[in-house]
Amino acid sequence: MPRGPGDIEKTLGRIDRRGYKAYKDLRGEYEFPGFRLCIDHVQGDPFASPSRVRLVVPSERAGFPQELYSDPTRNRAFCDFLTREVHAGCRRVSSRAGTGKSGLIEIDRPVQEVLERTSVNAGEERIEARISVGLPAAGRRVLADKARDILLRRLPSLVESSLLSKSVDADALDTHLRVVEDQVRIRAELADRGLVAFVGRGAVLPRRSGIDPRPMKSGAIPFEPPPELTSGFELSDGRVIEGLGIPEGVTLIVGGGYHGKSTLLSAVELGVYDHVPGDGRELVVTRPDAVKIRAEDGRSVAGVDISPFIAQLPFGGNTRDFSTQNASGSTSQAANIIEALECGTSLLLIDEDTSATNFMIRDRRMQELVAKEGEPITPFIDKIRQMYEELGISTVIVVGGAGDYFDVADTVIRMDSYRPVDVTAQTKEIARRHPSERNFEGGESFGKPAARIPDPTSIDPSRGRRREKVDARGWDSIRFGRGMIDLSSVEQLVTVSQTRAIGDALLLLKRLMNGRRTVPELLDALEEELGAVGLDALSRFKMGGYARPRRQEVAAALSRLRSLRVKQTS
């Protein structure tokens, strides 16, 4: 016979004021009027991670038409919307009282981007919210009265206010789904239109601060595309939205300091994700495989063929199979580009400010002072067109001081007080009148870097007595066994929930390794697994704190694992 609220009452009455671990007697499922409460994991200490709880509502009881979540795009948007509803509801019902995390009620925190998550799941039979609950304690003793209030009053209230159709704003839900569908529609058309990114008219690009990704409250200049580069896309409601269409090839973003160059690039780099209505960037849409590239002094590199950019190192260093625990600015940037190509990209995004100068350019004077025979670095300027013409890899690059890039650009956009101007023709004329006179150093072709095969024995997640010890330490680092993976320079992560998923994705990747699969093949296998099972494939537990990372960020974490060993395909 299913247990119900009365059984919770009895258990709490029995364990009141006992040691905190007595709460474990609550584990199990309980049938409430209109929903099921599943207590999957009970924390062993009031200061430990909160208990994991699921609220499961039959779809018929929830009352949402199934067409709202019937296909993958709508399902992702619908679950994201409900996550935001539950998040707001948790803030209303959470009551912090007692020791440690006592009284905490929360769901995985949503961000400006609409991501596939495990926080809310919607299917034909049920809608499920996965939340965390801090069971109340006085010191390390059970507080039954406060636990009773949470489990028997506050959680049922949360269901009523956040998971039922009658309680949510139907118009807001419809807008949320439509805005996400519009972004997906535009992104799907970019390649056919010969574009790598689109920035809609009226978009608000600046953010409130470096730590607050919400749109600037006041003073932001709505985006206005230059007429020469204006493209239009039809939205789901029949309207046509116009905006800047950034074409394939080599695009420069130029302009004076503080005129919006990096702000535009930052918006484009996060255009790989869909954004919520009102974000200001919900019509900034980028190729889904775009990768932001920067220099990253000190990172580890394992067996990367950086020879297209760097060769003939002093003392015979091998750049076709380059490894180091302490990369320089130039070697790290070269490795970052080759790794981006390895995992699959059609677009590189680069800001001169975060690049290694000697990797980006060697001007005529420096070429004369240091002959090519004495310089192992082939600068990016001499490879950028080869990458596009041979491999189809486009580049959008912010340039503030290296005018030699005028010679290799297809499109040049000048930001003038946050307003874009097409200055391509003017740039070509300047290049004609003031030739750089530098020598081309790129050789005949870019070449095909060797593929890497990870050694599964080098992926060791164990620590002490634990066979697997992996956890995210903020959005920018992962503790993996005895080591740390530094993701602070992987700039397209937006939430710790992605980082948490990446850590466990590395464990799944290890299980998929057989000493023969290359990195791209492993990433394909991972995506196939996640496509078939969802993010629940990452854990044997029903976790509510995962958000889907892209394969590019999973690959970045794998490559930054300092213990990683690889061999190359012949």
Say whether pLDDT at 387 is over 80: yes
Cα–Cα distances (Å) from 67 to 42, 57, 120, 124, 478, in that order, read: 36, 17, 17, 10, 38
State the average pLDDT over residues 522-540: 96
What is the spatial distance between Cα 218 and Cα 224, in angstroms, rounded to a whole number? Answer: 17
State the average pLDDT over residues 175-192: 97
How many CB atoms lie under 10 A from the CB of residue 35?
A: 26
* Sequence-ordered list of residues with C-beta below 8 angstroms from that of 501, at least 6 positions apart, any chain: 535, 538, 546, 547, 548, 549
Residue 104: per-residue pLDDT: 95
State the average pLDDT over residues 436-464: 92
What is the spatial distance between Cα 204 and Cα 487, in angstroms, rounded to a whole number? Answer: 28
Say whether pLDDT at 53 is over 70: yes
- Which residue would you say has higher pLDDT here, 312 or 401? 401
Residue 316: per-residue pLDDT: 66
Mean pLDDT across the chain, nearest whole number? 95
Give all domains of the chain, ordered by start, each with its CATH number: 5-168 (no CATH), 169-448 (3.40.50), 452-568 (no CATH)
Residue 175: per-residue pLDDT: 97
Residue 432: per-residue pLDDT: 95
Say whether pLDDT at 72 is over 90: yes
Strand partners, 127: 57, 122
Residue 314: per-residue pLDDT: 75
Phi-psi region of 361 (alpha: psi -120 to 50; beta: other; left: phi over 0): beta
> pLDDT tens for residues 151-182?
999 999 999 999 999 999 999 999 999 999 99
State the average pLDDT over residues 275-286: 97
Name the helix (H) or strand (E) containing 245: strand 240-247
What is the spatial distance between Cα 374 and Cα 356, in angstroms, rounded to a whole number? Answer: 19
Band of pLDDT at residue 434, cut at 50, 70 and 90: very high
> pLDDT tens for residues 205-242?
999 998 999 999 888 999 999 999 999 999 988 999 99
Calculate what percentage of the chain has a pLDDT beyond 90.
90
Q: Crossing angle for the helix pair 170-190 and 72-93, nearest 10 degrees?
A: 140
Say whether pLDDT at 2 is over 80: no
Cα–Cα distances (Å) from 1 to 30, 109, 321, in that order, read: 10, 36, 63
The C-alpha angle with vertex 119 and arms to 64 and 51, in degrees rounded to 5, equals 125
Residue 465: per-residue pLDDT: 84
Nearest to 23 by CA among 150, 119, 157: 150
Band of pLDDT at residue 291, cut at 50, 70 and 90: very high
Say whether pLDDT at 349 is over 90: yes
Band of pLDDT at residue 446, cut at 50, 70 and 90: very high
Sign of CA pseudo-dihedral 180, 186, 191, 196:
negative
Residue 1: per-residue pLDDT: 64
* Low-confidence winner among 198-212, 344-358, 393-407, 463-477 (lowest mean pLDDT): 463-477
Cα–Cα distances (Å) from 432 to 196, 250, 407, 413, 519, in that order, read: 27, 18, 9, 18, 44
**Token pair of 357 as six digits:** 């100068």
Say whether pLDDT at 317 is over 80: no
Name the helix (H) or strand (E) containing 40: strand 35-41
Residue 44: per-residue pLDDT: 93
Residue 548 and residue 117 in contact, taking contact as beta carbons nearer than 8 Å: yes
What is the spatial distance between Cα 480 and Cα 274, in angstroms, rounded to a whole number? Answer: 30
Write down the H helix ranges in 98-169: 144-149, 155-162
> pLDDT tens for residues 91-137?
999 888 788 899 999 999 999 999 999 999 999 999 999 999 999 99
Residue 570: per-residue pLDDT: 66
DSSP 169-225: -HHHHHHHHHHHHHHHHHHHHHTTTTEEEEEETT----EEETTEEEEPSSSPPPP--
Residue 105 and residue 132 in contact, taking contact as beta carbons nearer than 8 Å: yes
Nearest to 143 by CA among 22, 7, 52, 4: 22
Residue 362: per-residue pLDDT: 93
Residue 238: per-residue pLDDT: 92
State the average pLDDT over residues 12-39: 97
> What is the pTM assigned to this prediction?
0.95
